[in-house]
Amino acid sequence: MADRITITLTLNGERRSFETAPGRRLLDLVRDDAGLVGAKEGCGAGECGACTVLLDGAPVASCLVLAASADGHEVVTVEGLGRAGALHPFQETLVTHGGVQCGFCTPGIAVTGAAVLARGGDAADHARLLAGNLCRCTGYAKVVEALDDAAAKEAADAPA
Amino acid sequence: MPRPDAEPRHRTRGSDPGPRTTDHGPLGGRHERPDARAKVAGSTRYVGDLSLPGMLHAGVAVAPIASARVLALDTAAARAVDGVEAVVTAAALPGANLVGVIFPDQPLLAADRVRMVGDRLALVAARTPEAAWRAARLVEATLEPLPAVHDPVAALVPGAPLVHDGGNLVRTFQVARGDAGRRSADVVVEALYHVGGQEHAYLEPQGCLAIPEGRSRITIIASCQCPFYVQQAVARVLGLPLAAVRVEQAPTGGGFGGKEDYPSEPAACAAVLAFATGRPVRFVLPRELDMQVSTKRHAMVVRHRWGADRNGRLRFAEVDAVLDAGAYVGISTVVAERANVSAIGPYDVPNVHVRTRIAYTNNLFGGAFRGFGAPQVTWAAEATIDRLARAVGLDPLEFRRRNLLDDHRRRICTGQLLRRPVLARECLDRAATLAGWDEFHARPRAADTATREGMGIALALYGCNLHHGGQRLDRSSAVVILQADGSVVVRVGLTEIGQGNLVACQTIAAQALGVDPTAVQVWQPDTTTVADSGPTVASRGAHASGMAILDAVRRLRTRLDPVAAELLGCRREQVELAAGRARVAGEPDRSVTIAQVAAELAARRIEAIATGWYRSRPRRFDAATGEGEPYEFYAVACHVARVAVDRDLGVVRVEEVSAAHDVGRVIHRDALEGQIQGGVVQGVGWGTTERLALDHGRLVNPSFTDYLIPTFADAPKVNIAIVESDGAGGPFGAKGVGEPALIPAAAAVRNAVVAALGVELDALPLVPPAIVAALGDAHPFAWVAEEEHEHVRSETVAPGR
């Protein structure tokens, strides 16, 4: 097996190549090789969701994904959620609804929530769809309100 | 389990939407938290996100068994690992081998004796985390197992294996009041409660970064609640003066008490390795190790004998509590102090005898955890109150109303008179109304289905700030700097750990200076910028830092007001600060902006920095008798829980918790609601699913898959009633809320489950095996849990004794 391999992927909209060890986790590639430390390691076992990134639009626990398997794919981290310097609508409503406390789980929640919004569907499912992301501070209520609000705003802004 | 109601569970903004800010300033409003935007963007840098050139990574070798003699430590294989720069054992420490906060009973590195799983044997510094942990696993320890004790009650029996030479009884606290009335009780309840511990489960594991400057001084950047504790611990192990140890608090990903005392240990480890190698050392604990070795909420065994008369008036209460300290005292004495005086709750009881003992065992050691001993004794007290209510045939609300402290009965069990108003009854009524207590009980409920519904209530009386015994720590420092452009820097010694101390301090400073909150920047604590402000604990953060900020603003105004008066052409006594302006009182049209005043101060080279200081009023308290004023003032909380219990599976679902809190005054409404929502959910988790499974002192479930904290899908809907009042001593009349938000939740859930099932439950958490066991032989799966939960049965109601 090669000592180093080259992984090429689209990271937050930009095509990037990394020389890295074959066994590297996607979380380490994103944090240590690309310097995007927004994704957090809360458990390293796929249990807490703090390391969530989007892989081809789907939320994944990046601590469980082999970096090599992202070769040729599209990865979006919390740093890439917003557009043109603005926060993503869900990031914005997390702020305005007071859905942030210690903030360590927040990047993962923002990423999962963005995927939930992109998928669309019933707001009644929001809590269930976020359930892969643990938070110990907020009791979850204001986070769900923030996602509900972001979905409502998106629906109101959608062209008729 | 299918949910009976289809309505969304999270659509609540508390009882009152409240304004973003008011005409009277930001106090009580909902302006944006200053730390929120960076946190949602992922740009906040926690300690695990920091790297420095040449930085090394720490690993630690720990004992796998709970009691042993250390015969030999072989570090040769560890040293041989590629990338390893240093391996340190007890023999190589530069200063004292000691990390105990209060008692000198805990070494940084075990030299000859192991007393709990996780005792440190050797430290490693290496160029990568992988190398550090691989080397740590290669440290070969030859351990001779010794007898161990894992039950705190058994540990106090003569002949039990000794954890330390001086015996297993660490300390005894008591409260004694009256006694003659105990024979006049018509109903007596005796019960034995086993209240389990809890893992903090902060999302960010423990971590720190140590940056040495030669061997003369060091900077520690730590995820912590108490930078001054870390400073003291590091100074001691390195043999440095306090002034040579600078501790900056990193943005901290949750604490809940778990980052009060414990972070001193990893910081001391990183500091030792940094001095050994002369390089920066980062030490971040992997989750499994963090859960395995860090402090926990204390498990307690609580024996009750309480009596009431047939009219439902409490006559006496005897409480005998044993707190499992684990292998080291840590801060157990302070936890026991609070448990001891909290054991009776907000009730008027003429005859009280409480005894709280602390026992060493070879279990993981207990530490600070939100509520600090009060949740355990509250769980027991509220269970007994419900038993007594049933025994005299009263509704649990009515029984409580007859015994609650109020403005006419203000004397708590220590004899202290509570400051008016005492809002226990108001909290009870507000919570019961929010929960729909009467409607729920008027509605018929099926008794033949597997799912049973129940509603339960519990209250807590919480002494705000530090106990009398910790009063020497109850002071705080602040610095306020008015910049030349009118913006304001605030430094305090209390930490932001998620709870909202930054926004609370920002709000208090902005309110006092009459500026918009966005003009105020509160920076994370650094031990070189403010004086020792004690720990961020005891729901004292906003109080202690806020009072110091108000003092600093007062001092700043002795220099600011004369300049403003000159600009305004008025007397300095007429200057008032509001809406971003200095103006003449009563003549709002005559004003200048604060920025103009700040520019003038700068132009005249007038000192625009002020320090502020807070210390609590001295109190009288007799630790031997438990008589006096343990706390300065008190908050009351009442929670009502509605549950659905699957009787066959023993699964408890908490549907809704209605929480009424006496908070004095609201400082920041979103932060306040967030504390209550988070505290309730953490309390519900403790009471239902969060079981610390210890096997011979080893935690067998150190993961989020096996140790179950509530998820988005489990969290109950939380209804909130805020009760404001005059008479609290905090900034603008605020009281603490961080811990009251958790304390009664698990007890309310327990009482709801008992109401749903019709059987008593005397062990926390209410995991399925405990419920199945309590249901008895009628349950088809009772045999599964019989052995493990034999102690669950209590000696229950004995009417007429």
Give the per-residue pLDDT at B424: 97
DSSP string spanning B275-286?
HHHTS-EEEE--
User: B324 pairs with which residues across the strands?
Assistant: B359
- Contact with chain A for residue B17, Cβ under 8 A: no
CA distances to B260, B348, B463, B631 from B341, rounded to whole Å, are 22, 13, 9, 10
pLDDT at B12 over 70: no
Give just the sign of the alpha carbon dihedral B744, B745, B747, B748: positive
Is B47-146+200-293's fold the same as B300-467+622-799's? yes
C-alpha of B54 from chain center: 37
Question: pLDDT tens for residues A49-90?
Answer: 999 999 999 999 999 999 999 999 999 999 999 988 899 999
CATH topology of domain B300-467+622-799: Aldehyde Oxidoreductase; domain 4 (3.30.365)
The whole-number average pLDDT for the span B271-296 is 98
Delimit the domains of chain A by residue range: 5-80, 89-155
Count Cβ atoms within 10 A of the Cβ of residue B243 and give its class: 0-12 exposed, 13-18 middle, 19 or more buried.
Answer: exposed
Q: Is A71 on the interface with B (CB under 8 A)?
A: no
Provide CB contacts within 8 A for A150, sequence distance 6+: A89, A90, A92, A93, A113, A117
CA distance A93 to A151: 10
Q: What is the CATH code of the structural domain delimited by B475-615? A: 3.30.365.10
Question: HSE (CB half, 13 Å, CA atoms) of B551?
Answer: 19
B517 touches chain A (CB under 8 A): no
pLDDT in tens, B400-415: 999 999 999 999 999 9
* Mean pLDDT confidence for B566-571: 98
Which CATH number is A5-80 given? 3.10.20.30
CA-based nearest residue to B365, from B321, B331, B322, B338: B331
Contact B431, B638 (CB under 8 A): yes
Confidence check: pLDDT of B182 > 80: no
Nearest residue on chain A to B5, alpha-carbon basis: A124
Query: Rounded to a whole number, what is the distance in Å from the CA of A135 to chain B's nearest CA?
Result: 7
Q: Is B579 exposed, middle or buried (0-12, 13-18, 19+ CB in 10 A)?
A: middle
Per-residue confidence (pLDDT) for residue B104, from 0 to 100: 87
B201 contacts in A (CB within 8 Å)? 134, 136
Neighbours of B393 (CB within 10 A): 10
Q: What are phi and psi of B503, to 5 degrees?
A: -70, -30
For the cut 70, the answer to whether the pLDDT of residue B3 exceeds it is no
Cis peptide bond upstream of B421, omega within 30: yes
Distance CA B196, CA B301 (A): 9
Q: What's the rounded Cα separation, in Å, for the pair B241 and B274? A: 17
Q: Residue B13 pLDDT > 60, yes or no?
A: no
pLDDT for A45 equals 98
pLDDT tens-digit series, residues B31-65: 999 999 999 999 999 999 999 999 999 999 999 99
Cβ-defined contact of A40 to B201 (cutoff 8 Å): no
Question: Does residue B490 surpass a pLDDT of 80?
Answer: yes
pLDDT category at B780 given cuts 50, 70, 90 is low
Percent of chain B with pLDDT strictly greater than 70 = 94
From chain B, the residues in CB contact with A95 under 8 A are 32-33, 36-37, 40
Provide CB contacts within 8 A for A32, sequence distance 6+: none
CB B252 within 8 A of CB B495: yes
Residue A134 pLDDT > 70: yes
Domain boundaries, chain B: 47-146+200-293, 300-467+622-799, 475-615
Inter-chain CB proximity A40 and B10 less than 8 Å: no
Distance between B254 CA and the closest CA of chain A, angstroms: 5
Question: Is the Cβ–Cβ distance between B362 and B697 less than 8 Å?
Answer: yes
Asked if the model's pLDDT at residue B75 lies above 80, the reply is yes
Q: What percent of chain B has pLDDT over 90?
A: 89
Distance CA A34, CA A67 (A): 12
Chain B interface includes A128 (CB < 8 A): yes
Predicted-complex ipTM score: 0.98
What was the pLDDT predicted at B512?
97
* Closest by Cα among A97, A126, A46, A101 to B44: A101
Q: What is residue B18's predicted lDDT score, i.e. its pLDDT?
A: 41
In this predicted model, what pLDDT tens digit does every residue of B552-566 receive, in sequence order? 999 999 999 999 999
Pairing of strands A52-55, A58-61: antiparallel
**Cα separations in angstroms, B657 against B16, B74, B452, B746:** 17, 54, 17, 10
Taking the C-alpha atoms of residue B656 and residue B436, their distance in angstroms, rounded to an integer, is 11
Please say whether the beta carbons of A77 and A53 come within 8 A.
yes
Half-sphere exposure of B743 (CA within 13 A, CB side): 34
Rounded to the nearest angstrom, the minimum Cα separation between A53 and chain B is 12
Closest residue to A45, CB basis, from B36, B703, B713: B703
Average of per-residue pLDDT across A34-45? 98
Per-residue pLDDT band at B387 (split at 50, 70, 90): very high
3-state secondary structure of B302: strand
Q: Within 13 A of B159's CA, how many CA atoms are on the CB side?
A: 0
Mutate to test the interface with B, among A54, A81, A104 (most CBs of B within 10 A): A104
CA distance A94 to chain B (A): 7
Measured distance CA(B221)–CA(A118) in Å, rounded: 38
Distance CA A149, CA A130 (A): 15
Query: What does the alpha-carbon distance between residue B362 and residue B65 come to, in Å, rounded to a whole number?
Result: 9
What type of residue is A70?
A: A
Given an 8 Å threshold on Cβ–Cβ distance, is B715 in contact with A77?
no
3-class secondary structure, A94 = helix
CATH dotted code for A89-155 = 1.10.150.120
Answer CATH for B47-146+200-293 from 3.20.20.70, 3.30.420.40, 3.40.710.10, 3.30.365.10: 3.30.365.10
Q: Are the beta carbons of B11 and A70 closer than 8 angstroms?
A: no
